[in-house]
Amino acid sequence: MRTFIIDAFTDQPFKGNPAGVCLVEQALSLETMQAIATELNLSETAFLTPSETDSSKYFIRYFTPKVEIDFCGHATLASAKLTLHHFGQKFVQFETFKHLALSAVSEGENIKMKFPLYDTVAFEPSQALLEAFGIKSPLNARFAPEPQMLLIEVKDKKTLEGLKPDFAKALEVSDRLKLLMVTTRSADREYDFYSRCFASWLGINEDPVTGAAHSVLAKYWAKILNKTEMNAFQASQRGGFMKLRILSETDLEVVSKACLVFEGKISL
């Protein structure tokens, strides 16, 4: 089975967020896909199965080293990079196993994707969670029920970059989360906001760049900044960027780049 590693949300190899992309040639069991994702040991691995009736369509599933997840932004970008820039397709659409429809087109060296956009509700995080992630005096907290993601705003970039989570403690927290986003408004002109993302509950302590998180972050910051177009940077050790544009109450356009760094074959 042809397998690729593609760094997403970056224009440089070994930056951004690496994703595995496997081209499924014959039916695989869930146990086999999970074993492959565990073996590759990347934050996510995408499995692409081409549609038998539409050459532009693929069925996509996402696995962390620990569990299957519903939606992954950077693995979608990696899959789009492969199909658009290396296979030469002009347009690609992906359908997840939860029937979420995603699409992507080339825009020069960039890839433009359509993601969902999620609302948030007021939420009071437990003191145990705040202590586990070293968050003091949060400015705001919002919860996105559908993707089970918690957003916490802190006062500045220095505070964001200085967080030193205790991931063992985080695993003991039961705030019904899949992902924690810590974010802050930017004080510079290059970006509108910064973030870091943590998903210890899914087997990922800190995710380098999280496309799915921006399906929540975009709507949150759009309301605060009174903008429909924003530039975002995820301030992990590897780092990654993306341009965001609110299309509607439920749709988000995400534009970024990706780099193919490895191609090989898995023997089954």
Residues involved in catalysis = 44
3-state secondary structure of 72: coil
Q: How far apart are CA 78 and CA 85, in angstroms?
A: 10
> Residue 80 — φ and ψ, nearest 5°?
-65, -40
Q: How far apart are CA 48 and CA 35, in angstroms?
A: 16
Give SS3 for 31: helix
Q: Torsion angle of alpha carbons 60, 242, 211, 65, nearest 10°?
A: 80
For 64, counting Cβ atoms within 10 Å of its Cβ (0-12 exposed, 13-18 middle, 19+ buried), the class is: buried
